[in-house]
């Protein structure tokens, strides 16, 4: 009779574990709790993935780590660099073969890293290329943090190195809706902003949402980051068409959530992202309606020229219409810069990310199913 072997357990990825979780893991491997701090330092301060080189850890502990754990990284499938502005876009592949896009936008000796939170998206915003790619799954906290670690590897941006590039800002504006992967996004951000590791300033972290109302105020209670709202319309009638999420959470509910967020984080100015679509949302009447909509909020606007993608149903507003729109907002007391397109020539600009673009498998989905995640954030060892 053949011997049936139990299926081997997958190794535990130490990336994505909070400090308290790392202590639990360390003690479960019969090591002293303080070893967790040393392990954290190797992973997030020095960028080391090989346990055998973590020389201040006992040899027996390192052996157990190598048998049961990994310090994970996504693999880079493709790299594209924009000739126009040196924006970098990577197609990052995870162990199950699924892929997302990550974008680095340089400026002088610093830069912004745009992270993905889901593979595909359920929200089907009509102006967004990611919305044509059906949701495959959420990214784990390890996979979100792993994008940053991999870029640090590429540029050798670890604190012990002489790095010429600095990842100064992190924005959750890549593929997916961050607040529909709330637990993993919050865990990842707590790791990225931990002062004993990567130490990204919370004031240099921005979470963007299409308007998942129940999670917005909770975000303000969890972490002191910046909030960006994808607004894109002044009325429910237009926003219902552009962003189907508006049918569940219309503008009145969204504005109430923003006011609730500022009640918690009153020093934080909310940014409203507004894509300029010719003949759709770019009239002077639209601009005046926007001013009425946000009355009383401490906020600013980013006006984004629409970035074309294959099969896109819209065109970019004219420069004249965009200028008039911005002028009305500015005259009403709001900052309203017109954002320069970065990485447009490599499909790395706002609204252009779609990992299926590389394989040509992107396609529209008329019906999307999605649910608001359960809260609070898990503090267990194995974070899903």
What is the tens place of the pLDDT at every residue in 242-297?
999 999 999 999 999 999 999 887 768 999 999 999 999 999 999 999 999 999 99
Residues of the chain with CATH 1.10.150.530: 12-70
Answer yes or no: is pLDDT of 92 > 60. Answer: yes
Answer yes or no: is pLDDT of 5 > 60. Answer: no
Question: Looking at 121, 125, 299, 350, which residue is catalytic?
Answer: 350
Answer yes or no: is pLDDT of 351 > 60. Answer: no
CATH 1.10.150.530 fits 12-70, yes or no: yes
Q: How many CA atoms lie within 13 A of 376 on its CB side?
A: 5
What is the tens place of the pLDDT at every residue in 145-176?
999 999 999 988 887 665 655 788 999 999 99
Of the listed ranges 153-162, 180-189, 299-308, the least confidently predicted one is: 153-162
Using 50, 70 and 90 to split pLDDT, how confident is the model at 355?
Answer: very low
Using 50, 70 and 90 to split pLDDT, how confident is the model at 106?
Answer: confident
The residue ranking higher by pLDDT, 298 or 342, is 298
> For residue 365, what pLDDT is reported?
34
> For residue 379, what pLDDT is reported?
31
> For residue 383, what pLDDT is reported?
25
Give the residue from 297, 301, 180, 178 showing the smallest Cα distance to 248: 180
Kindly state the tokens that stand for 206.
Answer: 């921005």
- Ranked by mean pLDDT, the top range of 149-158, 307-316, 335-344 is 149-158
Cα(149)–Cα(172) distance, integer angstroms: 15
- The helix/strand/coil state of 119 is strand
pTM, full prediction: 0.87
Answer yes or no: is pLDDT of 350 > 80. Answer: no
Kindly state the tokens that stand for 145.
Answer: 């943090």
Give the residue from 183, 247, 161 showing the smallest Cα distance to 211: 247
Residues of the chain with CATH 3.20.20.70: 75-358
The residue ranking higher by pLDDT, 127 or 297, is 297
> For residue 8, what pLDDT is reported?
61
350 is catalytic: yes
Q: Give me the architecture of the 75-358 domain, per CATH.
A: Alpha-Beta Barrel (3.20)
Question: Looking at 101, 143, 222, 273, which residue is catalytic?
Answer: 101
């Amino acid at each position: 009779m053949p011997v049936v072997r139990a299926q081997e357990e997958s190794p535990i990825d130490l990336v994505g574990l909070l400090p308290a979780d790392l202590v639990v893991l360390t003690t479960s491997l019969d090591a002293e709790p303080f070893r967790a701090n040393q392990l954290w330092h190797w992973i997030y301060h020095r960028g080391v993935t090989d346990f055998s080189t973590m020389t201040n850890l006992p040899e027996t502990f390192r052996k157990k780590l190598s048998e049961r754990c990994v310090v994970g990284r996504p693999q880079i499938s493709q790299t594209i660099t924009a000739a126009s502005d040196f924006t970098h876009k990577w197609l990052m592949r995870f162990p199950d073969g699924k892929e997302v896009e990550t974008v680095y936008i340089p400026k002088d000796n610093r830069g912004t890293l745009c992270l993905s939170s889901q593979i595909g998206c359920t929200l089907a915003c009509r102006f967004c290329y990611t919305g044509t790619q059906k949701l495959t799954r959420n990214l784990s906290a390890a996979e979100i943090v792993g994008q940053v670690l991999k870029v640090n590897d590429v540029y050798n941006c670890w604190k012990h190195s002489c790095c010429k590039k600095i990842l100064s800002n992190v924005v959750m504006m890549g593929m997916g809706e961050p607040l529909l992967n709330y637990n993993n996004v919050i865990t990842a951000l707590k790791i990225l902003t931990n002062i004993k590791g990567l130490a990204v300033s919370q004031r240099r972290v921005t979470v963007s949402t299409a308007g998942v109302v129940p999670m917005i105020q909770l975000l303000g209670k969890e972490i002191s980051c910046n909030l960006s709202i994808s607004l894109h319309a002044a009325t429910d009638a237009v926003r219902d068409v552009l962003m189907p999420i508006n049918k569940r959470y219309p503008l009145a509910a969204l504005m109430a959530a923003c006011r609730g967020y500022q009640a918690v984080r009153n020093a934080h100015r909310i940014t409203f992202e507004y894509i300029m679509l010719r003949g759709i949302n770019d009239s002077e009447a639209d601009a005046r309606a926007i001013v009425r909509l946000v009355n009383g909020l401490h906020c600013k606007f980013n006006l984004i020229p629409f970035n074309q993608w294959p099969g896109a149903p819209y065109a970019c507003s004219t420069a004249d219409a965009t200028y008039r729109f911005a002028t009305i907002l500015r005259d009403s007391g709001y900052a309203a810069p017109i954002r320069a397109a970065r990485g447009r020539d490599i499909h790395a600009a706002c609204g252009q990310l779609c990992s299926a673009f590389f394989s040509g498998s992107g396609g529209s989905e008329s019906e999307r199913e999605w649910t608001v995640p359960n809260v609070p954030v898990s503090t267990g060892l194995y974070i899903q």
